[in-house]
Amino acid sequence: MPVPSLEFFGFTFIVATLFRLAPKAQWRRAIMLVANVVFLAGFASKPAAYTPLAAFLAFGYAALHVIQGGDVRSPPTSGAFVFAILAAFVWLKKYSFVPRDALLPFPYVVVGLSYIFFRVLHLLIDASQDALPERIRLIDYLGYTLNFSCLVSGPIQRYQDYARVGPSAPAPLDVMVTGEALERIITGFFKVSVVSVALLALHDHALGTLSSEQALGERVLLGVAIIALYPLYLYANFSGYTDCVIGAGRILGLVLPENFARPFTAANFMDFWSRWHITLSSWLKTYVYSPLLLISMRRLASPYFEPWLAVAAFFVTFFLVGVWHGQTSEFLFFGVLQGGGVAVNKLYQIMMTTRLGRRRYRALCENLAYRSLARGMTFAWFAFTLLWFWSNWRQLGTLASTLGSVTCLVVGVALVIIADIALVALEAVRSCARRWLWLGGPILLSRYWRTVWGTTLAVVSFAVLAVMNMKAPDIVYQAF
C-alpha cells in the first residue's frame, strides 16, 4: 500500500474509526496490531518473505525482555545485544562489505527495517539505563515497532512518547483538531504528488538536456538546475510524506514528532541538521554523539581538548547519517561529506569564537549580509553532497566531464549566489505576507484562508493525478 495514497488514507480512517469506538485500551492495542499486520502484508505475497523481519523483531524483543529482567543489565551484556542487532541489520540490508555467499538467497521484506532498527536499538539502550517507563509487553512492543502510520519512513518516535499518547491514552479529537489534521494531510499530499513530481521532472530534463556542445552560460544554468532542483525535490517528497503521516497519526490519536523545521533557512550546516530529518539527527545525537563525547572527555579530561573532541564526535555522528542511507561506496562518501561539513562548521565556530570572542562572533552571525551568505553556502553544500545520494561514480564522472572543470567552478559560485538571493527573497515574501492582518491576526493563518487554500490544493492534486493518470509517487526514503 503506497504512502501517501488514497488507499492509505482510506485504510487510516477505517482504523481510526474502529480505534476511537473501542472502549478499552486492550481493544485499541489489538486493533492497532491487526492494522499493522494488514498494512505490512501488502508489501509481499509470500509469507516466507517476512521471515527475516519476524526473526529480527523476535530477537529484539527477547533481548529487551532479558535486559528488563534486571539480572543482566550490565554494560557488556547490553552491549552484546546492541552489537548483535546492529550486525543483523547490516546483514539484512546487504551492505556491500558483507560476503555475498553469507546473504539470504531469497527476496524478503525490508520496508521499514531501518526505522524498526532505530526503535529496537532505542529500546535496548534505554532499558539498559533503566529509562523506560514500564516493562514492555509483546503487544506494546509490536505496536510501537510496527506502527503502520510511520513504518515506511518514520518519523522516529521514542517509546516514552508513544506510551504517553498512544493506544492506552489516545490524544482527543475534536472538529478543530480534525480540520488541522486534514489540512496537514492535504498539504503533504500536494507536496508529494504535484510539487515533488514537477521538480523531479525538471531535474531529469536538465540532466538529459546537458551537453558539452552547449555555450558556457547554458551549461552553467543547466548545471545549477541539476544540483539545486534535487534537494528541493527531496524536501517536497519527504516532508510531504511526513505531513501526511503526522496528520494521519493525529486522527488515530497519535502525536508523531516533527521531522522538518524550514531547513533551507538554516544559518549553517549544523543548524541545517537540527532542522532536516530532525528525528534521525536527534536520535544519533542522543545515542552516538553524546555518549561518544562523554567517553572521549573522560579519557582526555582537559578543557583544551573539549572543543576538538566535539568536532571528532560530530564527524563520526554525521558520517553515520550517510552510511545509514545506503550500502554502496557512494553513500560512504556521502557520509564523509555530511560528517566533514558539520565538523568543519564546528571548527570554524571554534576559530571565530577564539579570534573575535563570543559577543562579537554572535553579532557577526546576526548581520543580515553574513547570515544570507551563510544560508546560500549551506544550501549549496547540501545540494553538492546529494550528488552522491542520487547518482553513482560513473554518472558523476560523466556529469563533470560534460560540464568541464572551469564550468564546475562557475556552477558552484553561481549556486551559492542564486541560493542566497532566492532564500533572502523567500524570507522577505514570508515576512511581508505575515503583515497582512485580518480579524486581529495574519490573514494567511486565518481559518478562512487555510480552508480555501487546503481545498484548492486538494482539487489541484486530484486533478493532476486524474489527468496524468499517475499512481501514487514513491517516497524516496522508503528505500532506506
* Total domains in the fold of the chain: 3
Dihedral angle sign, alpha carbons of residues 367, 370, 374, 380:
positive
Query: So what's the pLDDT on residue 401?
Result: 94
- Single out the residue in 142, 164, 186 at which a domain terminates: 164
What are the C-alpha distances in Å from 40 to residues 43, 105, 241, 454? Answer: 6, 22, 18, 30
Number of Cβ within 10 Å of residue 213's Cβ equals: 7
Do the Cβ atoms of 325 and 480 come closer than 8 Å?
A: yes
Q: Rounded distance, CA 473 to CA 480, Å? A: 16
- The cell 527475516 sits on which residue? 52
Q: Which three cell numbers stand for residue 329?
A: 561506496
In this prediction the pTM is 0.93
- Single out the residue in 164, 193, 208 at which a domain terminates: 164
Nearest to 128 by CA among 297, 283, 287, 257: 287
Residues 143, 17, single domain; the answer is yes
Residues 138, 28, single domain; the answer is yes
The reply to whether 210 falls in a domain is yes
Q: Which three cell numbers stand for residue 142?
A: 509490536
pLDDT string in tens for the chain (480-residue length): 788 888 899 999 999 999 988 888 899 999 999 999 999 999 998 999 999 999 999 999 999 999 988 654 566 778 899 999 999 999 999 988 889 899 999 999 998 999 999 999 999 999 998 889 889 999 999 999 999 999 999 999 999 999 988 888 888 888 889 999 999 999 999 999 999 999 999 999 999 999 989 999 999 999 999 999 999 999 999 999 999 999 999 999 999 999 999 999 999 999 999 999 999 999 999 999 999 999 988 888 777 778 889 999 999 999 998 888 888 889 999 999 999 999 999 999 999 999 999 999 999 999 999 999 999 999 999 999 999 999 999 999 999 999 999 999 999 999 999 999 999 999 888 888 777 877 677 877 778 888 888 999 999 988 888 777 766 677 888 777
The reply to whether 411 falls in a domain is no
Q: Rounded distance, CA 32 to CA 377, Å? A: 45
The reply to whether 422 falls in a domain is no
- Single out the residue in 164, 184, 213 at which a domain terminates: 164
Residues ≥6 apart with Cβ < 8 Å to 135: 68
Q: Rounded distance, CA 421 to CA 413, Å? A: 13
Nearest to 160 by CA among 126, 129, 128: 126
The reply to whether 109 falls in a domain is yes
Number of Cβ within 10 Å of residue 174's Cβ equals: 7
Do the Cβ atoms of 178 and 186 come closer than 8 Å?
A: no
The reply to whether 20 falls in a domain is yes
DSSP state letters, 13-75: HHHHHHHHH--SHHHHHHHHHHHHHHHHHTT-SSGGGGHHHHHHHHHHHHHHHHHHTSSS--H
Query: So what's the pLDDT on residue 219?
Result: 94
- The cell 558483507 sits on which residue? 98
Query: So what's the pLDDT on residue 344?
Result: 95
Residues 240, 149, single domain; the answer is no
Rounded to the nearest angstrom, the gap between the alpha carbon of residue 103 and the centroid of all alpha carbons in its chain is 28
How far is the first Cα of the chain from the last one, in angstroms, to the nearest whole number?
17
Q: Which amino acid is at 109?
A: V
The reply to whether 418 falls in a domain is no
Diameter of the chain by CA atoms?
A: 72
Q: Which three cell numbers stand for residue 192?
A: 508529494
Residues 46, 80, single domain; the answer is yes
Alpha helices in 73-210 (DSSP H): 75-92, 113-128, 138-145, 159-164, 175-190, 196-209
What are the C-alpha distances in Å from 228 to residues 74, 191, 270, 277, 454? Answer: 49, 17, 20, 19, 28
Residues 223, 284, single domain; the answer is no
Residues 229, 314, single domain; the answer is no
Domain of residue 378 covers 269-390
Residues 70, 150, single domain; the answer is yes
Residues 150, 283, single domain; the answer is no
Query: So what's the pLDDT on residue 439?
Result: 67
The reply to whether 105 falls in a domain is yes
Rounded to the nearest angstrom, the gap between the alpha carbon of residue 480 and the centroid of all alpha carbons in its chain is 10
Task: Identify the three-state secondary structure at position 473.
Answer: coil
Query: So what's the pLDDT on residue 52?
Result: 96
Query: So what's the pLDDT on residue 74?
Result: 63
Task: Identify the three-state secondary structure at position 103.
Answer: coil
Query: So what's the pLDDT on residue 70?
Result: 66
The reply to whether 426 falls in a domain is no
Do the Cβ atoms of 249 and 257 come closer than 8 Å?
A: no
Task: Identify the three-state secondary structure at position 441.
Answer: strand
Q: Rounded distance, CA 49 to CA 41, Å? A: 10
Query: So what's the pLDDT on residue 267?
Result: 92
Residues 194, 150, single domain; the answer is no
Residues 273, 256, single domain; the answer is no
Residues 48, 128, single domain; the answer is yes
Nearest to 275 by CA among 238, 227, 312: 238
